[in-house]
Amino acid sequence: QVNLVESGGGSVQSGGSLRLSCEASGYNNRRCIGWFRQAPGKEREGLAAISLGGLTTYADSVKGRFTISQDNGGNTVFLEVHSLTPEDTAMYYCAGRALLPRETGCSIVSGQYRRWGQGTQVTVSS
């Protein structure tokens, strides 16, 4: 059974950093884990994704500021977020799906992900 649990959110001041964690269980050796966020009144936004093999995808808006990684077993996926601004305030979610045979990397299209965690709140104050 697939299960995703996020942690690591919190309140920080502008310029601060956080390390978000996503504990992912129940996946076989071909899977994608993505990080998304949703602010009140806004659409869900894809941020980054990683395959079990370590291939990464980033949204242009976060390249150079956010880093996705995973532990050796791929059971925990991290999202390091740096140089935070109030515009980064949102609920951050991790989500998972199978990596299809024809795919070489993971997308950050939220509609393609089937399993979602409960989210972890990030609040950035100025």
Q: Which residues pair with 67 in a beta bridge?
A: 80
Are 68 and 35 in contact, with CB atoms under 8 Å apart?
yes
CA distance 6 to 74: 14
Q: What is the mean pLDDT of the chain?
A: 95
| Beta strand ranges found along the chain (DSSP E) | 3-7, 10-13, 18-25, 31-38, 45-51, 56-58, 66-70, 76-81, 90-98, 115-116, 120-125
pLDDT tens column, 60-92: 999 999 999 999 988 999 999 999 999 999 999
Residue 54 in this model has a pLDDT that exceeds 80: yes
What does the block give as tokens for 66? 């956010």
pLDDT tens column, 9-49: 999 999 999 999 999 998 877 899 999 999 999 999 999 99
Are 104 and 52 in contact, with CB atoms under 8 Å apart?
no
CA distance 4 to 95: 7
User: Which residues are CB-neighbours of 40 under 8 A, at least 6 positions away?
Assistant: none
